[in-house]
Structure 1
């Protein structure tokens, strides 16, 4: 009776997953096709077969290529493991289990060509499927097959896939499912479902499970180490950029104070130094006011520092009315609206 329950629940699990996957991939198919078409149209050069294999799916995300490559390598390893396990299940005539492995293979492969692979909800759903698959096999009445060990690489994989700081909830959901499944399995003494057929190959199952779990732990540990190494490198690069930024900021502040002091002292080097320190602003003035005179350029440079008419008159040793007259000539010559600040108008222009 329990064996019938296993096949009933397993068949239900397989059917529900087929339906959910059909809905998910149908909804994503057209959008993925459109994105892929645009991506191929923008692709400037032909990629080698190896590049296509390693970076397939990169068009669906703005994530850096190394992340896509790592996920792809992990996906390929998953597919190889599922194929091996599926063939093993077929050999021992465990057709339901083989069908579930086939479904999981299709999910991974379809995910490679769809933006759904970068959907965290779907990825969480995929890992819950893996935990349920482990749960179904662990209730067959033979705990000595050590099928529960598969929970270890599943949990390790969530650390590799998700960012614990920002995506902790997904890890906790998967962890919660595993805890519930483990409690049920423990209190039913691994006999929630009893499968008489498995008795014949317990020893083979033990070896297979130990090998699979060992390989997955090694594989995921490598990916986690690589991920941490990448974070360390990015952190070092960020610190280096921050250091360069602080040096640049210090230089800009020093240059700013120097130029302002030259302006206040009406130093003849002011205009030349302004051009050196603010080349983009200089280009903007020359572009906005073609053939501008040296006197008018100096006025624009002083206005850039938000000096008032009174301050400009003081620094240039001229009357305030003279400053107003120069600004009026600029407005009239270039049709600057009345009441509009010259520098503000230039930025809008």
Structure 2
């Protein structure tokens, strides 16, 4: 049951879509799950071997905080929109937590190594080009905490009474092992993120190549239509100019130049309304979504919605380019 619960949480988003954003969200899920187990094991270790209830309780709270984030992250739209802000806040919070425990353990338990784990987590969550200011801010916070904790006593922070002198070597060894584990996992997750980015780049190149091929094919189809309808280049330029200026005479002129187009659409589906036929005319001229939005003074989302309804009414498969389909008519 527990395994199914975790498996569902870390795979829920990836099953829905295969795009970069959702795969990256899935990767973040796995990272949060990793943090959950690391902190859980660490808190159990502290309470079992040293009996420090303060540290163990604090770590347990943080442990289940990761689980809480993991549970709500894919369910809450607000979380997804403010993901970067939450990540920055968590990194800063972890920095102060490391500083607290570094001093709490008498600066002799190797807690300072976790500063470097936090630093190496930054590339996984943030982009050096887009988030340079934020990264400098986080690095500044970590540096100030590290220097301040190292050179100032900060007597207002309580010191642990549970650690004996001989315990520090054991705790330091464990902290080194934990920090190496965290560091290694940071590298693994960064590598997986890079793999996703490289995959996205390849897909984008393939998509761009496909679009260019499609544009070339549509241009050839348009030339073929010009021959069939005995149109000249001047006729095409005229109708394009009318369409781009959203002229009220465009649709009438279009039907003169392409007299069989609208009737054939109505044969496929007689329920097509005027605005849908108008959009079909624009797509017949190979106007893309953005250009249609500009010509008709509509939003891109409204145009996409209209194209979706047209596709449904004409029974056009999602695998077929709607412009190519209409150009052939």
TM-score (norm 2): 0.60
2:42 counterpart SS class: helix
Change (3 A) 1:245 1:218: same
- The aligned residue for residue 222 of structure 1 is 188
2:198 counterpart SS class: helix
- The aligned residue for residue 127 of structure 1 is 91
2:229 counterpart SS class: helix
CA contact (8 A) 1:141 1:189 kept: no
Alpha-carbon separation, structure 1, partners of 2:12 and 2:228: 58
Alpha-carbon separation, structure 2, partners of 1:240 and 1:49: 37
Larger of the two Rg values belongs to structure: 1
Alpha-carbon separation, structure 2, partners of 1:265 and 1:234: 42
2:215 to 241, 249, 257: 249
- The aligned residue for residue 11 of structure 2 is 55
**1:101 Cα deviation (Å)?**
0.5
Question: Which structure 1 residue ranges, 5 or more long, are not aligned?
Answer: 1-47, 267-278, 291-299, 306-349
The 5 A counterparts of 1:58-69 are: 64-69=21-26
Q: Can you list the C-alpha shifts for 1:184-242, whole angstroms capped at 9, x where unaligned?
A: 12332798855464334111111111110111111111111011011111111110111
Kindly indicate whether residue 148 of structure 2 is the aligned counterpart of residue 184 of structure 1.
yes
1:230 counterpart SS class: helix
The 5 A counterparts of 1:329-340 are: none
Alpha-carbon separation, structure 2, partners of 1:160 and 1:52: 23
- The aligned residue for residue 75 of structure 1 is 32
**1:75 Cα deviation (Å)?**
1.6
CA contact (8 A) 2:95 2:142 kept: yes
Change (3 A) 1:132 1:57: farther
- The aligned residue for residue 111 of structure 1 is 69
- The aligned residue for residue 175 of structure 1 is 139
Kindly indicate whether residue 142 of structure 2 is the aligned counterpart of residue 161 of structure 1.
no
Alpha-carbon separation, structure 2, partners of 1:192 and 1:222: 38
Alpha-carbon separation, structure 2, partners of 1:258 and 1:60: 41
Change (3 A) 1:246 1:227: same
Kindly indicate whether residue 97 of structure 2 is the aligned counterpart of residue 97 of structure 1.
no
Change (3 A) 1:146 1:289: closer
- The aligned residue for residue 257 of structure 2 is none
2:265 to 278, 284, 293: 284
CA contact (8 A) 1:158 1:171 kept: yes
**1:165 Cα deviation (Å)?**
3.7
CA RMSD of aligned residues (A): 3.7
Alpha-carbon separation, structure 2, partners of 1:282 and 1:217: 67
**1:132 Cα deviation (Å)?**
1.0
Change (3 A) 1:281 1:172: farther
Change (3 A) 1:289 1:53: closer
**1:94 Cα deviation (Å)?**
2.0
**1:170 Cα deviation (Å)?**
4.2
Alpha-carbon separation, structure 1, partners of 2:63 and 2:6: 21
Question: Which structure 2 residue ranges, 5 or more long, are not aligned?
Answer: 233-259, 272-279, 286-329
Change (3 A) 1:179 1:244: same
Change (3 A) 1:265 1:153: closer
Alpha-carbon separation, structure 2, partners of 1:67 and 1:280: 45
TM-score (norm 1): 0.57
**1:72 Cα deviation (Å)?**
2.1
1:264 counterpart SS class: coil
Alpha-carbon separation, structure 2, partners of 1:110 and 1:100: 15
